[in-house]
Amino acid sequence: MTAMNKTCALLLGLAAIFASAAAGAQDVVIVVNSNVSISGISEAQLRDIFTGARSRLDDGTRVVPVLLRGGPVHEVFLDKHLRENPEEFRTRWRKAVFTGQGSMPKEFSSETAVLEYVAATPGAMGYVSRTSGNTAVKVLPVSP
């Protein structure tokens, strides 16, 4: 391996490490429509909602989970709250759709679109990196 190839390999490795660290450092905020009455959610409840095992909140509200189409926030959400990688998550939902046990949640390409949809849709729940003071949604703390 030439010195140039070694340098390129080293730089690529460092870039991968920094990208991974940046994604891992990303905060994820769970948001719901402001009319939802609950004030917090457990990790287990959140996981059940976003994996299709649960369709109602503790207050009886029908919940409408929404996703980001991809990116660091989506990956951190999946890893931190669902303990899955993007491929495992997609496979789970494909099976549910194929067997008629569920339909894939709506996906949005931007956090702004997620916030707008959650604000306008009763029972909607999503995740973003920050709310930027959006008072049309409510932030839900997640407990272990």
DSSP string, 83-118: ---HHHHHHHHHHHHHTTS--PPEEESSHHHHHHHH
List the one residue out of 72, 107, 114 whose CA is nearest residue 90: 107
Task: Give domain status of residue 1, yes or no.
Answer: no
Task: Give domain status of residue 4, yes or no.
Answer: no
Task: Give domain status of residue 101, yes or no.
Answer: yes
Task: Give domain status of residue 2, yes or no.
Answer: no
Task: Give domain status of residue 10, yes or no.
Answer: no
Task: Give domain status of residue 95, yes or no.
Answer: yes
List the one residue out of 1, 34, 19, 3 whose CA is nearest residue 137: 34
Query: Which CATH number does the domain housing residue 78 bear?
Result: 3.40.190.10
Encode pLDDT of 20-75 as tens digits. 434 444 689 999 999 999 999 999 999 999 999 999 998 899 999 999 999 999 99
φ and ψ at 142, to 5 degrees?
-110, 125
Task: Give domain status of residue 18, yes or no.
Answer: no
Q: Which amino acid is located at 54 in the chain? A: R
Encode pLDDT of 98-117 as tens digits. 888 778 899 999 999 999 99
pLDDT at 5 over 50: no
Task: Give domain status of residue 133, yes or no.
Answer: yes
Tokens of 141: 């703390």
DSSP alpha helix (H) spans, the chain: 3-25, 43-51, 72-77, 86-98, 111-120
CA R_g for the chain: 18
List the one residue out of 45, 66, 67 whose CA is nearest residue 56: 45
Count of domains forming the chain: 1
